[in-house]
Amino acid sequence: MWILWFAVVALLLWYFDIGFIGQISGWWIALLFGLAFVWFEVFERRLGLDKKAAFDELDKAKKERIKKQLDQARNFRQRRM
């Protein structure tokens, strides 16, 4: 994600002609966006980073469901006695 933020900042600096970034070719800025695209489309998928957040959410919900069921079972047993 940092590549994408760096590319956006570089694009703004290039567009407004600020600093040395304003003097370089636009192809260098396009290269940064290309690298960000390759990262998100290839490497992130291969490393499983795109699914990690979803799996973490599912694991958290699963643990909460299990805890809730165990609490309900304990409460039911206590009421019967």
Same domain, 61 and 24: no
Domain count, the chain: 2
**pLDDT recorded at residue 31:** 97
27-71 tens-digit pLDDT: 999 999 999 999 888 888 778 777 777 888 899 999 999 999 998
Angle between helices 26-38 and 2-15 (to 10 degrees): 160
Same domain, 1 and 39: yes
Same domain, 40 and 54: no
**pLDDT recorded at residue 73:** 84
Higher pLDDT, 1 or 63: 63
Q: Which domain holds residue 81?
A: 49-81
- Its pTM stands at 0.60
Same domain, 61 and 36: no
Distance (Å, whole) CA 4 – CA 36: 6
**pLDDT recorded at residue 43:** 85
Same domain, 2 and 36: yes
> 5: phi > 0 → left, psi -120 to 50 → alpha, else beta; which?
alpha
Same domain, 39 and 57: no
